[in-house]
Amino acid sequence: MGGVAPAPDGAAGANARKAWLKQRIDALIADTKRVRRAKVGVVVRDLVSGDVLYATGADAGYNVASNTKIVTEAAALSLLGPGFRYRTTFAAGKVEPGGVIDELYVRGQGDPFLGTAELLEIVGRLQLHGIKKIKGGITLDDTYFDDTFTPPHFDEQPKVQAAWRPPVSALSLDGNTVTVSIRANKAPAAKPTIRLFPPNRYIRIVNKVDVVETGRTNVRLDVKVTRRSTQMTFSGRMRRSQPQRYKYRVANPRMYFGAALRRMLRQHGISVGRRSLHAHKLPRRVRTLVVRKSPTLAVLLRGMGKYSNNYVAETILKTIGAHVNKGRHPATWNDGVHAVRSFLIDKLGFKRGSFRYDNGSGLFDSNRFSPRQLVRVLSAAYSDFRYGPDLAATMATAATDGTLRKRMRHTLAAGRVRAKTGTLAHASALSGYAGKSSQHQLAFSIVFNDMHRGALTRRDARLLQDHIAAALVAYLPDK
């Protein structure tokens, strides 16, 4: 592919190798027919010399899809610090003899990695404190964030219930998603069994699914949301030999968290008096029982970046807003967006109006960046030892893990490229670092927009990105 001679060795000199790289990338783009009509932007920068080795479409604005997460991660690591941790506090107003408390108060800061296992551990720690009875009930304080759960631009597909489009709250569980399993029963005419994980009373199931012996499975979902519950109605048919498993977003994270917690407490022998959940700010005078601290931000971002987690990205964005407003009011999406934009303008020198940043994940029509701007973010992080290594660690490694685990196998790029992928219907992006040694690395951004031939074009765009990445590694000297 490309019809260009192999890369010259180090003795050929920098100019010869730079000329080879340009010829190679030009030829690769020209040879990829389905991408020719797309809008193409590529920038490659030598992080040692600072020279731009290759540029085409470098300054145009592109929808860079999930490459927006690079911007969100860089801002979070710089503003919050790699050692930032979320705190979830469990407290009581009064502790009486015999393990009785008047009310269980829970205050969250948005910990995006608080899951069922972690909540069960917290319930176990409450047991170790000797808690046996809650006379009142559970009061939830999620005022660290405001009540606008839906991130910017997520309402462009309001009917989508998929797990990749979850809401965000200061009290969240399992990424604000619920797992649903549907299995046939032994009795021929019986309805299948539908189970939720984690079990909770917030979600109510209506089962209208028929079990069939032959034919295709076609299960449909209808959702009705009220202030205190969500009804999921499943209909259609399921083939007996094909049990189903789905993952859906939940509409009200606060109620979902509280309902799951209440069930866990009761299952572990801690009685709860009031069934209804209260929501208001934590009183000033309470007795702290358990504080759950998350892993550090640097660790949390690795899972987000390598696997392109939209929920974590949007939670991080709102956390940035809460940090910048210093608790003066519940953090809003505008707080987070404004803080990241200010980071780009004030710290990285972006010109106001030269980019668009509307949400943290890059989903939907939410952002516009040029390849040169993405490379500037990568270059700035590389030059700042306080957070640069942590940003690189968030990226998938070619042929090794994350969204690149199956890409660039058996090529020079395997294990030598760390990058963030990005994919939407008409956009594909790959930006990150390439290197053979720690002494000499490149930053690059490869973005395609206006792709109008569906999956085949997206496949060819990814292949072209992979070939360019391999060419970058080939360009670098061995030492």
pLDDT in tens, the chain (479 residues): 445 567 777 666 778 889 999 999 999 998 877 787 889 999 999 999 999 999 999 999 999 999 999 999 999 999 999 999 999 999 998 999 999 999 999 999 999 999 999 999 999 999 999 999 999 999 999 999 999 999 999 999 888 899 999 999 999 999 999 999 999 998 888 899 999 999 999 999 999 999 999 999 999 999 999 888 999 999 999 999 999 999 999 999 999 999 999 999 999 999 999 999 999 999 988 999 999 999 999 999 999 999 999 999 999 999 999 999 987 899 999 999 999 999 999 999 999 999 999 999 999 999 999 999 999 999 999 999 999 999 999 999 999 999 999 999 999 999 999 999 999 989 999 999 999 877 789 999 999 999 877 777 888 999 999 999 999 999 998 76
Is residue 360 in a domain?
A: yes
Domain hosting residue 426, numbered range: 10-82+297-475
pTM of the predicted protein model: 0.93
Same domain for 201 and 227:
yes
List the one residue out of 282, 291, 431, 306 whose CA is nearest residue 367.
431
Is residue 457 in a domain?
A: yes
Tokens matching residue 80: 């919050």
> Cis ω on the peptide bond leading into residue 198 (within 30° of 0)?
yes
Q: What is the rounded distance in angstroms from the CA atom of residue 190 to the CA atom of residue 17?
A: 70
Which are the contacts of 212, defined by CB distance < 8 A and separation ≥ 6? 237, 238, 239, 240
Q: Which residues pair with 442 in a beta bridge?
A: 46, 434
Is residue 104 in a domain?
A: yes
Same domain for 215 and 343:
no
Same domain for 139 and 78:
no
Q: What is the rounded distance in angstroms from the CA atom of residue 278 to the CA atom of residue 271?
A: 17
Is residue 261 in a domain?
A: no
Q: What is the rounded distance in angstroms from the CA atom of residue 152 to the CA atom of residue 250?
A: 17
Same domain for 282 and 237:
no
Token pair 């032959």: residue: 214
Cα Rg of the chain, angstroms? 25
Is residue 399 in a domain?
A: yes
Cβ atoms of 448 and 427 within 8 Å: the answer is: yes
Same domain for 220 and 199:
yes
- Per DSSP, which regions of 331-387 are E strands? 356-357, 367-368
Same domain for 322 and 455:
yes
Same domain for 198 and 347:
no
Is residue 2 in a domain?
A: no
Number of domains in the chain: 3
Q: What is the rounded distance in angstroms from the CA atom of residue 418 to the CA atom of residue 90?
A: 39
Is residue 255 in a domain?
A: no
Q: What is the rounded distance in angstroms from the CA atom of residue 381 to the CA atom of residue 372?
A: 14
Tokens matching residue 74: 């860089």
Same domain for 62 and 175:
no
